[in-house]
């Protein structure tokens, strides 16, 4: 089993709902509080497991705003696991989720430096590393209805841009989306083989550009059209 996320860049609106839901759920979850430091001050700081980056792609008038949520990719060849000196960072064999043992983490930051996706953040209050867990304490909770055993970010997304599932199952929704939409890994050339996959934005119809003329010329053109009718 290889659990992960598919993120549709065509429908993500950058609302930050996923990031907020992630922080709310995980603050009371297995990794403990996600601390904030001076949240209402001049220099607020805090630990977030999911951040949204926004880019403008293309040239006006055919440009497109792309919102790109980024969290842990749960790489198959995770550099963060390799560099961890205490064994706090590890990848589970049963489902491929990369986790951090908070009791073993000493906050050395080596894993954060090794991660090319900026997916790890040092908790400013606890001094330990925090990252996306795919809500591991939620997705296996038998007390929850089956349709709610998903990461908090997936459940809260208003445009259904985030899909959770098993990439090892060729019939799963995530596998089908990757095939049908040409899903892409982020920076595959690095060799870490990230599990989370992005669906690229669809091409929108080109906008026809009209030549702007003077008011005098516009009126003259309109009058000529009326006369020739």
Closest of 218, 165, 204, 172 to residue 7, by C-alpha: 165
Q: Tens digit of pLDDT for each residue in 59-71?
A: 877 788 899 999 9
Contacts of 107 (CB under 8 A, 6+ apart): 122, 127, 128, 129
* pLDDT for 192: 95
Measured between alpha carbons, how far is 101 from 202 in angstroms, rounded to an integer?
Answer: 40
Structure tokens at 124: 């400013």
Identify the pLDDT of residue 73: 96
pLDDT at 209: 58
Task: Read off the pLDDT of residues 75-124 as tens digits, 9 standing for 90 and up.
Answer: 999 999 999 999 999 999 999 999 999 999 999 999 999 999 999 988 87
pLDDT above 90 (res 228): no
Say which residues have a Cβ less than 8 Å from residue 121's Cβ, sequence separation at least 6. Answer: 47, 48, 49, 112, 129, 130, 131
**What is d(CA 213, CA 196) in angstroms, rounded to the nearest whole number?**
50
Q: Could you tell me the CA-to-CA distances from 188 to 59, 75, 179, 196, 197 in Å, in that order?
A: 27, 10, 17, 11, 10
pLDDT above 90: residue 139: yes
Q: What is the pLDDT of residues 30-66, one digit of tens each?
A: 555 666 666 677 776 677 888 899 998 888 777 888 9
- Which pLDDT value is given to residue 181? 94
Cα distances (angstroms) measured from residue 81 to each of 9, 30, 127: 28, 19, 18
CATH class name, domain 3-227:
alpha beta
Q: Is 116 exposed, middle or buried (0-12, 13-18, 19+ CB in 10 A)?
A: middle
Q: Is the pTM of this model over 0.75?
A: yes
């Amino acid at each position: 089993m290889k659990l992960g996320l598919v993120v549709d860049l065509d429908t993500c609106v950058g609302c930050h709902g996923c990031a907020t839901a992630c922080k709310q759920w995980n603050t009371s979850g297995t990794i403990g509080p996600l601390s904030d430091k001076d949240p209402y001050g001049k220099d607020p700081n805090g630990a977030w497991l999911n951040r949204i980056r926004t880019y403008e792609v293309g040239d006006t008038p055919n440009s497109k705003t792309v919102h790109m949520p980024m969290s842990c990719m749960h790489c198959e060849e995770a550099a963060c696991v390799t560099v961890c000196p205490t064994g706090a960072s590890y990848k589970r064999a049963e489902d491929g989720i990369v986790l951090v043992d908070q009791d073993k983490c000493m906050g050395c930051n080596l894993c954060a430096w090794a991660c090319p996706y900026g997916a790890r953040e040092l908790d400013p209050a606890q001094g330990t590393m925090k990252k996306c867990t795919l809500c591991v304490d939620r997705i296996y909770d038998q007390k929850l209805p089956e349709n709610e055993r998903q990461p908090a970010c997936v459940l809260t997304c208003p445009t259904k841009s985030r899909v959770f599932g098993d990439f090892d199952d060729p019939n799963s929704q995530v596998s089908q989306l990757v095939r049908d939409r040409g899903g892409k890994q982020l920076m595959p050339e690095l060799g870490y083989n990230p599990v989370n996959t992005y669906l690229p934005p669809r091409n929108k119809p080109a906008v026809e550009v009209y030549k702007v003329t003077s008011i005098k010329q516009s009126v003259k053109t309109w009058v000529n059209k009326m006369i020739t009718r």
